[in-house]
């Protein structure tokens, strides 16, 4: 039994340096997730700022319409379809790397969800906080920056952490554009060893560990930000 497992592990990871597939794929998955998160936060922040400014002041009508269109399209279509459209249609004739395409696709996708998370956070802060800031003489932007956003961020941190976990897992469909991420690497090994169990469980465990670490980091940050509540 034991020798059987170590045999399988040997075949899956050591023989012909197959662990290198896993390492490479792991790197690609991390890279895509990291940059997609950054783009997601950037887009999400911008869209949320436009949408809540529109909700609160009635300004930025056209920008708000564009944002709504973006949200509807992104949230109304599957991420795999978005990924393939960006790869096969948008960048069809452009000489860009697959990692870049994946970063763009997942970043654009995540931005829509992050935008709504940020916006719900801003809307969750009472109007009184806003009025207190304005009554002291802060501009709309200063009130947002010093008073509303710090509180909103604290409120949405759990939802934001969750969104990034979802994003990390969603990058596993990158194989659809033949990008060799962690999932694809496991699949390549499976096709070589015909041992689906070991290769796929290995990949699953790596995802799980990554996500456990990330969850822990978020909860530490959350606890630090909560220090003013008690």
Partner 1 sequence: MTTNKGEVIIKVEDLHKVFGELHAVNGISEEIRKGEVVVIVGPSGSGKSTFLRSLNLLEVPDKGRILFEGIDITDKKVDINRHRQRMGMVFQHFNLFPHKTVMENITLAPIKLKGIKEVDGKKRAMELLEMVGLPDKANTYPSKLSGGQKQRIAIVRALAMDPDVMLFDEPTSALDPEMVGEVLEIMKTLAREGMTMVVVTHEMGFAKEVANRVIFMDEGVIREQASPKEFFENPKDTRLQEFLSKVL
Please report whether residue 134 would count as binding partner 1 according to CB under 8 A: yes
User: Please, which residue, 61 or 230, has the CB nearer to partner 1?
Assistant: 230
Question: CB of 225: closest distance to partner 1 in angstroms?
Answer: 8
**Residue 139 engages partner 1 in binding (rule: CB under 8 A):** yes
Among the listed ranges 13-21, 141-149, 169-177, 195-203, the one in contact with partner 1 (CB under 8 A) is: 141-149
Q: Which is nearer to partner 1, 136 or 209 (CB)?
A: 136
Q: Which member of 45, 138, 176, 214 binds partner 1 (CB under 8 A)? A: 138
CB-wise, 126 or 219, nearer to partner 1?
126
Are the C-beta atoms of residues 143 and 69 closer than 8 Å to each other? no
How many whole angstroms separate alpha carbon 26 and alpha carbon 101? 17
Q: Which of 8, 56, 98, 154 binds partner 1 (CB under 8 A)?
A: 154
158 binds partner 1 (CB under 8 A): no
Residue with tokens 């000489």: 95
53, 54, 58, 64: CA torsion to nearest 10: 150
Q: Interface with partner 1 includes 58 (CB under 8 A)?
A: no
Closest by CA position to 77, among listed 67, 85, 87: 85
Tracing tokens 């020798």 back to the chain, one arrives at 3
Phi, psi of 139 (to 5 degrees): -75, 170
Q: Does 222 bind partner 1 (CB under 8 A)?
A: no
In the three-class reduction of DSSP (H, G, I as helix; E, B as strand; rest coil), residue 226 is classed as helix
Non-local (6+) Cβ contacts of 45 within 8 A are 114, 115, 118
- Which residue number, 31 or 155, has a Cβ lying nearer to partner 1? 155
List of residues contacting partner 1 (CB under 8 A)? 126, 128-129, 131-132, 134-139, 142, 146-147, 150-151, 154, 228-230
């Amino acid at each position: 039994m034991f020798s059987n497992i170590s045999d399988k592990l040997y075949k899956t990871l050591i023989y012909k340096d197959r662990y290198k597939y896993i390492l490479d794929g792991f790197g690609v998955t991390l890279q895509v997730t990291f940059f997609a998160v950054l783009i997601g936060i950037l887009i999400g922040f911008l869209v949320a700022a436009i949408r809540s400014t529109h909700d609160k002041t009635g300004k930025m009508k056209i920008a708000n319409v564009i944002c709504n269109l973006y949200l509807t399209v992104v949230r109304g279509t599957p991420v795999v379809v978005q990924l393939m459209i960006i790869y096969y249609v948008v960048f069809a004739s452009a000489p860009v790397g697959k990692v870049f395409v994946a970063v763009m696709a997942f970043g654009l996708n995540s931005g829509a969800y992050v935008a709504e998370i940020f916006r719900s956070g801003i809307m969750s802060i009472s109007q009184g906080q806003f009025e207190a800031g304005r009554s002291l003489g802060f501009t709309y932007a200063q009130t947002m920056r010093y008073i509303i956003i710090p509180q909103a961020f604290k409120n949405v941190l759990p939802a934001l952490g969750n969104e990034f976990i979802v994003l990390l897992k969603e990058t596993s469909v990158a194989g659809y554009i033949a990008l060799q991420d962690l999932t694809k690497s496991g699949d390549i090994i499976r096709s070589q060893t015909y041992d689906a169990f070991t290769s796929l469980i290995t990949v699953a465990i790596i995802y799980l560990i990554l996500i456990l670490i990330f969850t822990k980091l978020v909860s530490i940050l959350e606890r630090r930000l909560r220090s003013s509540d008690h």
